[in-house]
Chain A
Amino acid sequence: MSKTPILEAIDVTKRYGTVTAVDHLNLAVPKGVCFGLLGPNGAGKTTLVEIIEGIIAPTSGHVLYQGRPRAASFFERIGIMFQQTALLSFMTVHETLATFQSLYPHSIDIEELIRLCYLEDIRKQLNDKISGGQRQRLLLALALVNQPDLLFLDEPSTGLDPQARRNLWDIVANIKRQGKTIILTTHYMEEAEHLCDIIAIMDHGQMIAQGSPAQLIDQYTEGMHIDLPAECMVNVSELPAADITVLDERAVIQVHDMNRVVQRLLAAGVDLTHMTVHSPTLETVFLNLTGRQLRD
């Protein structure tokens, strides 16, 4: 990895009237990584990404690409898959790719792109006649048409069924292997954990945590969780080094010393047949950092 970040956001702020969507935020993305940006709804992720992409201007602060302010050629070097984009009407998949190919001075061979994104079967279909998964693959292909160094994927698998999602992940994993830098925003923790090398968590327009998935789990979670039917806990008076929460007739026990807790439960005559043990995940990190309050 090169020491100069491929992308830097320095003290970036974006205000809409009295609302501050991004608040004096700093960010550095190393070259060749998949950088995940997580945050609850309204955290400012999309605004930040659109500032970095050059779609909207920040109120203050600046963005550097390969250590320099972005030039007009920046759009030739990046690929973007937006969260919500309509496509040119009455065009086939192949024609759409060819049209976008014409917009760039350097581009990938369309046949290669079609193979990479599994678009062979729908190449002659009109854009508005393809399924959600096919559409996402086409949008990804459009983002790759100029062989970008830096790829932005904004919630690429939202609304896809599990098969289509896995299929998209395979394509992204392939792109990663080519050494491209990816900035991924997502609501799916599993997706972030599966694809990202570095994850940054945003809330209220600020960056609140950053690191590899393992680092974040290690830093922002404690122990493991034991899940038991709540009625099993009636005769249990006290557990060593554990916090107990009862949710929906289930007792969730946060455990620091698994052996001692299990011994104590057995000693109290608790039936462990229906016990499940959970390791902390990125979702635990996310909820610990951003809270459990519903965001719209």
Chain B
Amino acid sequence: MSFKRLWAMLWARNHEFFRDRAAFGWNFMFPFLLVAGFAVIFGGDEPKDFKVGIFPCDSVQAAYDVDECLPPTLKGVRQVQYLGFENLEQGLDKLRHHRIDLLIEKGSPPFRYWVSNSSPKGYTVEKILIGNLVDDADRVMARQEVVTARQIRYIDWLFPGIIGMNMMFSALYGVGFVVVRYRKNGVLKRLKATPLTAFEYLTAQMLSRLFVLAFTLIILWVGCDLIFRFTVEGSYVDLLLIFLLGSLSLTSLGLVIASRGTSEEFSNGVLNFITWPMMFLSEVWFSIEGAPHWVKLTAKAFPLTHMLSAVRKIMNDGATLADVSVELAFLIGFTLLFLIVGASLFSWNK
């Protein structure tokens, strides 16, 4: 292997990345946009997960607070946002289209309410409101204990997922698309006619993308930390190591996708086929705790699952590298596997 050739390719790719104003602007701005998005979503009051309509309560036209329509027993239920409607028809229309999760008629108990039986959120908010109305101490399942240890905020749990998702898209599209485009327009063929080896070329692509991922990660982390003040219970060095291995495994997967083919459309399809299930099953947005066994097993096939699991353990639980050794092993294994497959399948030609 020649480091001179590897460096030449790395230098060329980085120049391309930083000089492509549109792509660089997007890659540079995207983390800031994410940070801004987080600030808007999580920076204000507690998020309201459920929407409950109440009628008759034309709060918009009459310009008064919807709370004035609410009976005292329904006020102050956390995570419920109330919306006022003029009449039943208007409220039912919103309910049918899942714009609201439940509809209540204003008045005194017992309240009449409507809920869509095809809405899982409707079922949940129904139970929440009923629970709020019933004062039955005998039916309380257990005594409430207050957790005095540091609570893990939702943003603390979600943030690694967002970072991981951003890394996944950047790694897979950043490598997969570029190499396929270069194969299609003949750049790879031209490079093949030089002493450059496939290993040197692919390593340069990988290192270049790692650099971009690290750059984005730092911006996103520092930006979000300034706003949300994350607490990292474990070691930052361990965290960096996991991110590095995660980036390596995701970039290597990008190399597998880039190893053959000249159709950007086909590559886009393959990338979608991989990224969407990975995004949903790797617990980026929500936990798959309680999902069927086969779903959990499928999730294990994605490197992002192991990266996020390890990052969350280190960040939220103060885990050490020994505690996340299984995730580490998976990430190293995936990287090696993808590199071997990618390098053996790689073709310079169309």
Contacts and interface: CB of A to CB of B under 8 A. Distances in A.
B318 to A, nearest CB: 44
A82 B186 contact: yes
B16 A90 contact: yes
Contacts of A100: 194
Interface in A59-104: 72-73, 75-76, 78, 80, 82, 84-91, 95, 99-100, 102-104
Contact of B193 (A55, A87, A95): A55
B98 interface: no
Interface residues of B, number: 25
Contacts of A53: 193
A277 interface: no
A17 interface: no
Nearest to B191: A103
B73 to A, nearest CB: 65
A99 B193 CA distance: 14
**Which applies to chain A's interface (DSSP): helix, strand, loop or mixed?**
loop
B116 interface: no
B4 A102 contact: yes
A105 interface: yes
B87 interface: no
Contact of A85 (B5, B16, B187, B195): B187
B127 interface: no
Contacts of A89: 16, 20
B194 A104 contact: yes
Contacts of A241: none
Nearest to B178: A89
B13 to A, nearest CB: 8
A75 B195 contact: yes
Contact of A103 (B19, B187, B194): B194
A162 B340 CA distance: 50
Interface string A183-217: 00000000000000000000000000000000000
B228 interface: no
Given A90-B16, A91-B15, A99-B8, A85 B194 contact: no
Nearest to A73: B195
A272 B98 CA distance: 93
B99 interface: no
A105 B195 CA distance: 9
A91 B16 contact: yes
User: Which of the listed residues B8, B186, B187, B190 has the most CB atoms from chain A within 10 Å of its own CB?
Assistant: B190
Contacts of B189: 55, 82, 85
B187 A90 contact: no
Contact of B5 (A54, A91, A102): A102
Nearest to A77: B195
Interface residues on A, range: 20 to 34
A236 interface: no
B185 interface: yes
A287 interface: no
Contacts of A103: 5, 8, 191, 194-196
B152 interface: no
A207 to B, nearest CB: 24
Nearest to A72: B195
Interface in A222-279: none
B114 interface: no
Contacts of A91: 12, 15-16
Contact of B195 (A84, A88, A104): A104
User: Which of the listed residues B19, B195, B349 has the most CB atoms from chain A within 10 Å of its own CB?
Assistant: B195
A42 B186 CA distance: 20
B11 interface: yes
B190 A75 contact: no
B50 interface: no
Contacts of B192: 55
A142 to B, nearest CB: 8
Given A82-B189, A82-B190, A89-B20, A76 B195 contact: yes
Contacts of A86: 182, 185-187
Interface in B188-219: 189-196
Contacts of A95: 12, 15
Given A53-B193, A56-B349, A88 B187 contact: yes
Given A88-B187, A89-B20, A75 B193 contact: yes
Contacts of B38: none
Contacts of A54: 193
B32 interface: no
The 7 closest A-B CB pairs, nearest first, are A102-B8, A86-B185, A90-B19, A80-B193, A103-B194, A85-B186, A90-B16
21 contacts: A53-B193, A54-B193, A55-B189, A55-B192, A55-B348, A75-B193, A76-B195, A80-B190, A82-B193, A84-B186, A87-B190, A90-B19, A91-B12, A91-B15, A95-B12, A100-B194, A102-B4, A102-B8, A105-B195, A142-B190, A146-B194
Given A90-B16, A104-B195, 8 more contacts: A55-B189, A91-B16, A95-B12, A95-B15, A100-B194, A102-B4, A102-B5, A103-B191
